[in-house]
Amino acid sequence: MESTVTEFASFIENSAEIEIPDATLHDAKLIVADCLGAIVGGMAEPEIRMLAESESENLFEILDNNKKGTDETISFLFGTAGTVLEMDEGHQFAKGHPGMHIFPALLAAARNRKISGEEFLRAFIIGYDVGARIGLASNLNPKMHPHGTWGGLGAAAGLAVLNKMNARDASEYLNIVSSLTLATSRKTMLEGATVRNSYTGISNKMAHVGLILLKAGFTGEQDGIKSIFDGITSNKFDDKSAVELLGKRFEVSRNYFKLHACCRYNHAALDALWKIIEQHSEVKNINQIKKIEVQSYNLAAELSDQNPRNVLACKFSIPFAVSTTLVNLDSGVLSFTEIMRTNKDIQKLCRKVTIVEDATMTEKTPDLRPADVRVLMENGSTFQAQVTTNRGDWQDPYSEEELKQKFISLTTRLWTQKKALDVYSKSIKLEKIPLDDLINSIIN
């Protein structure tokens, strides 16, 4: 049996001949638009503006070939910005966020080339496939955060397609980038350590560093993917599932999108809570809530912090997510801010929210992401709702109009609505236009 690296390298070499269905291209365009929205929205955050070290009002001038930005710098900055709001799409089987690990690296590289939007989408689809497949075939150390691990290999695969690498070079490249995987800590997520937001940016950057090393004559292990993900960052790697239906089942069509501005492990609870809010207006009187009990799967049960120390920690806290949603009747970006973290009503309500694991729900993952929410009122009334999975994936997708409105809400943190609509329009017809058309719309 050929190694996974060899099969992926062959997949990359033959990528131009792979038949990609129109539906898959469409799914990829929605992810590209979503990544752009998350990046632009994240660029409005003060720490990202500081990271950019730019006095310009137009932070996206860095994409201009005449400016000083390098591929590595752009990849790092955009990858970090796209993570900070917790609004980037993801893949439940890979248990991570392939799009944001691949799109920034590809966009940085593609700005230097005269290529079609369709070529860009093909590279993105192949890169997404490789990254997500390594993720789903791995069983990461539970103390590791998935950002900054297998995502760099997805970016490398996409860059290999852009560079039209043959199988030999693509194999060497993947082996090099395998060894550039980060030792990421899951505790950063739970404690609100914002260094976690940089993992994705670094991973994008490492794909470019690996390309520099390859061109300089550096080499990697013979099977870097197996070496790293079958005993170091992961205790097991399933070669068979990594290449199952390779070239026939595209992972961009099994992704999920987010409208709640927090970790997806919160989302099932929030979806159930919204059912209660819509059916029982009494819960809007938060002073009459006695307690809120949430049952969900194991990963969601970890998000139990009733007193998050900063905004990032708020995004990884079911007590906070539930409380800010009830107080604001909204679960978007503005419900997860420092002002909301210190809001006395939200803090008081947080102490009334508990989350525990239901083992039968854990057994249903990763196919389903269930939750049960019970709101107990001071007058003895109890309101309850359940969901079997999060909204936003292919089983219960958001409408394209909802995704468009999300894009506009995020990008108008920096752009006019006219510009936001123009960029969105070009994103969703990308296979019909030169990539430069999209890049110029972003810059200007």
Q: Name the token pair of 326.
A: 């009830």
The per-residue pLDDT for 395 is: 83
**In b/e form, how buried is each residue of 26-61, taking b as 16+ CB within 10 angstroms?**
ebbbbbbbbbbbbbbbbbbbeebeebbebeeeebbb
Q: Name the nearest CA neighbour of 140 among 192, 97, 84, 183.
A: 183
For 206-229, write each residue's pLDDT tens digit: 999 999 999 999 999 999 999 999
Structure-token pair, residue 204 = 């994008």
| Rounded-to-integer distance, Cα 397 and Cα 290, Å | 33
**Strand pairing class (289-296; 353-357):** parallel
State the Cα–Cα distance between residues 361 and 370, nearest whole angstrom: 6
Mean pLDDT of the residues in the chain: 95
> Coil, strand or helix: which one is 149?
coil
pLDDT digits (tens, 9 = 90+) for 279-293: 999 999 999 999 999
- pLDDT level of residue 2 (50, 70, 90 thresholds): confident
- Distance from C-alpha of 353 to C-alpha of 367, rounded to nearest angstrom: 26
> By three-state DSSP, how is residue 231 classified?
coil
Dig out the tokens for 353 from the structure: 């929210």
Task: Note the pLDDT of residue 56.
Answer: 61
pLDDT at 115: 95
Is residue 339's pLDDT more than 80? Answer: yes
**C-alpha to C-alpha distance for 442 and 427, rounded to whole angstroms:** 10
Measure CA of the first residue to CA of the last residue in the chain; give whole Å.
Answer: 50
Mean pLDDT for the stretch of residues 393-414: 95
Q: Find residue 237's DSSP bridge partners.
A: 138
Q: Give the model confidence (pLDDT) of 32-89 as tens digits.
A: 999 999 999 999 999 999 998 765 667 898 888 767 689 999 999 999 999 999 999 9
Q: Considering the chain, what percentage of its residues have pLDDT values greater than 90?
A: 92
d(CA 272, CA 294): 10
Q: Rounded to whole angstroms, how far apart are CA atoms 85 and 81?
A: 8
Give, as one character, the DSSP assignment of residue 243: S
In SS3 terms, 312-381 reads as: HHHCCCHHHHHHHHHHHCCCCHHHCCHHHHCCHHHHHHHCCEEEEECHHHHCCCCCCCCEEEEEEECCCC
Task: Quote the pLDDT of residue 57.
Answer: 64
Residues 6 or more apart whose CB falls under 8 angstroms from that of 266 comprise: 260, 300, 303, 315, 316, 317, 318, 321
Phi/psi at 189 (5° precision): -65, -50
275 closest CA partner among 357, 373, 367, 350: 373
Tens digits of per-residue pLDDT, 292-329? Answer: 999 999 999 999 999 999 999 999 999 999 999 999 99
pLDDT tens profile 190-205: 899 999 999 999 999 9
Residue with tokens 């689809």, as numbered in its chain: 125
Q: Contact, 126 vs 165, CB < 8 A? A: no
Q: How many helices (H) and strands (E) does the chain have?
A: 22, 6
Q: What pLDDT does residue 214 have?
A: 98
User: For the chain, how big is the Rg over CA atoms in Å?
Assistant: 21
Q: SS3 of 91, please?
A: strand
In angstroms, rounded to a whole number, what is the distance separating the alpha carbons of residues 182 and 189?
15
- 254 closest CA partner among 389, 143, 83: 389
CB-neighbour burial class of residue 219 (10 A; exposed 0-12, middle 13-18, buried 19+)? exposed
> What's the pLDDT score for residue 55?
55
Tokens 């089983």 -> residue: 395
The C-alpha atoms of residue 398 and residue 288 are separated, in whole angstroms, by 32
Q: CA-based angle 389:394:397, to the nearest 5?
A: 80
Region 83-105: mean pLDDT is 97
